[in-house]
């Protein structure tokens, strides 16, 4: 027979698969509590690092024996360091949030589309960043990239949280606020003693943000209802739906167009998304239970 049976060689996985088909190992270098249930981890590679993620992309994080979770990059450091900001909501994310300094975690990625902030398409355009809750996590590296860009228009960062205690990256928001090249506004649903900022919806912050709607790109991430409100507000202000980019969440088991779980109509959110133009997703999200 022409076809020979391949002799099975057990063991060492090929480099090409590490970090994609099965995880590369990283070590927790620092762990910082952002809020009572949100933690930011800085991860340093133990194995060959995964290719550098672009802002908006995500990885699959694996705490030993406790599943994998899709988690965005919330920051990018030197030497292949990754930052992730995680809310403990279930078994996998609780295990991730419980990891201490020195603990080992598996990483596959990076996966999916990104905010496109590295693209010359944004040259000269105003950018409005709208974040609700943990939506600030995937947007943070986009802001970092935008602050460094050469031919920039104006940049606004509008942040909403449930309460002052739920605000992530509060120190950094404070530093951003003092910059002249950045408009920052923060609002909470419910104030607390000592809060002198605004109270209300994040979309209320659009009115005071400096942008020319005909020359603006908006980056939006947060709960789906919030993104819908934000997109509606931006559209009402005159921003074209093709220029409103939002980041979607769907159940994900594989992140590589295999498990089928992340489908939203014709889209595989793991590969076509998570960042998608509002013009594409609005008609899909309008169908209940799609």
Ligand X SMILES: Cc1cc2nc3c(=O)[nH]c(=O)nc-3n(C[C@H](O)[C@H](O)[C@H](O)COP(=O)(O)OP(=O)(O)OC[C@H]3O[C@@H](n4cnc5c(N)ncnc54)[C@H](O)[C@@H]3O)c2cc1C
Distance from C-alpha of 139 to C-alpha of 165, rounded to nearest angstrom: 19
Question: With respect to other proteins, which residue has the nearer C-beta, 30 or 251?
Answer: 251
Distance in angstroms (rounded) separating the CA atoms of residues 186 and 136? 11
If one asks whether residue 279 binds other proteins (CB under 8 A), the answer comes out as no
**CB nearer to other proteins: pick between 63 and 153:** 63
Nearer to other proteins, 154 or 250 (CB): 250
List C-alpha distances in Å: 39 to 2, 35, 260.
57, 7, 29
Q: Does 67 bind ligand X (CB under 6 A)?
A: yes
Which of helix, strand or coil describes residue 207? coil
Q: Binding ligand SF4 by CB under 6 A: which of 51, 90, 124, 260?
A: 260
Q: How far is the CB of 267 from other proteins (least distance, A)?
A: 8
| Total binding residues toward ligand X, as defined by CB under 6 A | 23
Q: How far is the CB of 93 from ligand FES (least distance, A)?
A: 16
Nearest alpha-carbon partner for 40 in 30, 25, 54, 52: 30
1 binds other proteins (CB under 8 A): yes
Question: What tokens appear for 213 in the block?
Answer: 């709607």
DSSP class of residue 18 equals B
Q: Which is nearer to ligand SF4, 177 or 258 (CB)?
A: 258
The CA-based dihedral angle spanning residues 126, 131, 137, 141, taken in that order and rounded to the nearest 10 degrees: 0
At its nearest, how many Å lie between other proteins and the CB of residue 70? 11
Q: How far is the CB of 68 from other proteins (least distance, A)?
A: 7
Q: Which is nearer to ligand X, 60 or 239 (CB)?
A: 60
Site residues (CB under 6 A) for ligand FES, limited to 246-265: 252-255, 257-262
Q: Does 52 bind ligand SF4 (CB under 6 A)?
A: no
Which one of residues 195, 259, 277, 279 is an interface residue with other proteins (CB under 8 A)? 259
Give 92 or 187: the residue with its C-beta nearer to ligand X: 92
Q: Which two tokens stand for residue 248?
A: 């979607």
Q: Which residues contact 150 (CB under 8 A, 6 or more apart)?
A: none
Binding pattern to other proteins, positions 40-79, x when CB under 8 A? ------x---------------x-xxxxx-----------
228 alpha carbon, distance to own chain's centre: 17
Residue placing its CB nearer to ligand X in the complex, 206 or 252: 252
Helix orientation angle between 278-285 and 224-237, rounded to the nearest 10 degrees? 130
Separation of alpha carbons 201 and 229, rounded Å: 9
Residue 92 interacts with ligand X (CB under 6 A): yes or no: yes
The residue written with tokens 């590679």 in the block is 45
Residue nearest to ligand FES (CB): 270
Does 225 participate in binding other proteins (rule CB under 8 A)? no
Would you tell me how many other CB atoms lie within 10 Å of the CB of residue 103?
17
Told to check if 90 binds other proteins by CB under 8 A, we report yes
Is residue 266 close enough to count as binding other proteins by CB under 8 A?
A: yes
Round to whole Å and give the CA distance between 142 and 44.
21
Please, where are the H alpha helices in the chain? 91-97, 136-147, 170-177, 224-237, 278-285
Contact set with ligand FES (CB under 6 A): 252-255, 257-262, 268, 270
Contact set with ligand SF4 (CB under 6 A): 260, 263
């Amino acid at each position: 027979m022409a076809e020979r049976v391949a002799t099975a060689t057990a063991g060492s996985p090929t480099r090409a698969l590490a970090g994609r088909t099965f995880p590369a190992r990283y070590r927790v270098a620092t762990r910082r509590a952002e809020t009572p249930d949100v933690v930011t981890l800085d991860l340093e590679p133990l194995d060959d690092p995964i290719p550098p993620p672009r802002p908006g992309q995500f990885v699959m994080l694996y705490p030993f024996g406790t599943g994998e979770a899709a988690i965005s990059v919330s920051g990018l450091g030197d030497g292949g360091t990754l930052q992730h900001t995680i809310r403990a909501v279930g078994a996998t994310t609780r295990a991730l949030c419980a990891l201490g300094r020195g603990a080992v975690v598996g990483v596959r990625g990076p996966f999916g589309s990104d905010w496109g902030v590295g693209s010359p398409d944004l040259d000269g355009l105003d950018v409005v960043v709208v974040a609700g809750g943990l939506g600030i996590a995937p947007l943070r590296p986009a802001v970092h990239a935008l602050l460094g860009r050469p031919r920039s228009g104006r940049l606004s960062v509008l942040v909403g949280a449930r309460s002052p205690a739920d605000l992530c990256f509060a120190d950094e928001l404070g530093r951003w606020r003092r910059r002249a090249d950045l408009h920052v506004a923060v609002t909470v649903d419910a104030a607390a003693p000592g809060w002198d900022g605004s109270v209300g919806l994040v979309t209320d912050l659009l009115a005071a943000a400096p942008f020319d709607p005909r020359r603006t790109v908006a980056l939006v991430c947060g709960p789906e209802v919030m993104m819908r409100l934000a997109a509606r507000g931006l559209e009402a202000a005159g921003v074209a739906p093709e220029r409103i980019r939002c980041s979607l969440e769907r159940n994900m088991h594989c992140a590589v167009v295999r498990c089928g779980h992340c489908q939203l109509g014709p889209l595989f959110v793991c590969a076509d998304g998570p960042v998608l133009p509002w013009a594409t997703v609005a008609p899909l999200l309008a169908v209940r239970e799609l």
